[in-house]
């Protein structure tokens, strides 16, 4: 199973871009990269996912390296409400129920 | 508002009690999940139901018993729990064809005395 490595914590200034790295060097060809976040004492929130190409939605952008061994989640203009634990998960899209695993994530603190 | 509701939000129970957690999703999804999140630990997947059939039981003790009567409702029946079962229990739902895009409820904070 592919596993991910994320820094345990990072700080970001309000209004600046937050770039959250994730390493997944053993990712398989059919596995996607998913990002979630969990604000304290709430349920996790799906952010974005991608396979090969860069993806963007109203919440964030996902940049995946050409060799797919790492990715970066970009929050373009961080706000205080973006303070949360961010999880990077790699998984196939179907038939891998038990392999969709949340790790420890990155605790992001956005400061004024 | 995520479209996934859980009740109760908080529950305190003794080790000999029997209680149930309820989850309801209003998103038209056909897969539902139970997760456990203990203090300072990652989320642990407990059970998965797809098209109302259990497809994953992640070595969960038998004192936890899931039930999925239809694609919109999921229950977790609890009996003779231990204090170490105290945790945040989270329900999620997704389309079966894309289980990586899960929508979570707010969770039930369970304390076992």
Contact criterion met (CB < 8 Å) for A97 and B97:
no
Residues A21-46 have pLDDT tens digits of 999 999 989 899 999 999 988 999 99
Q: Which residues of A touch B96 (CB under 8 A)?
A: 94
Measured distance CA(A2)–CA(B98) in Å, rounded: 18
Q: Which residue of A has its CA nearest to B4?
A: A43
Please list the residues that pair with A63 across neighbouring strands.
Answer: A72
Measured distance CA(B86)–CA(B102) in Å, rounded: 24
Give whole-number Cα distances, B3 to A11, B69, B94, in Å. 31, 18, 11
Confidence class of residue A2 from pLDDT cuts 50, 70 and 90? low
A21 touches chain B (CB under 8 A): no
| pLDDT for position A1 | 52
Confidence class of residue B56 from pLDDT cuts 50, 70 and 90? confident
Q: Which residue of B has its CA nearest to A92?
A: B100
- Which residues 47-86 in chain B show a CB within 8 A of chain A? 48, 50, 55-56, 58
Bridging pattern class, strands A106-111 and A9-13? parallel
What is the least distance, in Å, from the CA of A5 to any CA of chain B?
14
Residue whose entry in the numeric block shows the structure tokens 């098209």? B51
Closest residue by Cα to residue A50 from A89, A105, A106: A89
Contact criterion met (CB < 8 Å) for B43 and A102:
yes
């Amino acid at each position: 199973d592919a596993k991910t490595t994320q820094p345990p914590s990072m700080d970001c200034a309000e209004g600046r871009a937050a770039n959250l790295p994730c390493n997944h060097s053993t990712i398989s060809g059919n596995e996607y990269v998913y990002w979630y976040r969990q604000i304290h004492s709430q349920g996790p929130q799906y952010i974005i996912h991608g396979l090969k190409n860069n993806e963007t939605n109203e919440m964030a952008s996902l940049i995946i390296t050409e060799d797919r061994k790492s990715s970066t989640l970009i929050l373009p203009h961080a706000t205080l409400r973006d303070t949360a634990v961010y999880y990077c998960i790699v998984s196939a899209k179907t038939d891998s129920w038990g392999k969709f695993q949340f790790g420890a994530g990155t605790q992001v603190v956005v400061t004024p | 508002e995520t479209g996934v509701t859980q009740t109760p939000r908080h529950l305190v129970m003794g080790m000999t009690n029997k209680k149930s957690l309820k989850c309801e999703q209003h998103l038209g999804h056909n897969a539902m999940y139970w997760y456990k999140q203990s203090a300072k630990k990652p989320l642990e997947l407990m059970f998965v139901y797809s098209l109302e059939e259990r497809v994953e039981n992640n070595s969960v003790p038998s004192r936890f018993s899931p039930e999925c009567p239809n694609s919109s409702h999921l229950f977790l029946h609890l009996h003779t729990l231990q204090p170490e079962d105290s945790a945040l229990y989270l329900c999620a739902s997704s389309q079966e064809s894309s289980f990586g895009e899960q929508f979570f409820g707010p969770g039930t904070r369970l304390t076992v005395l």
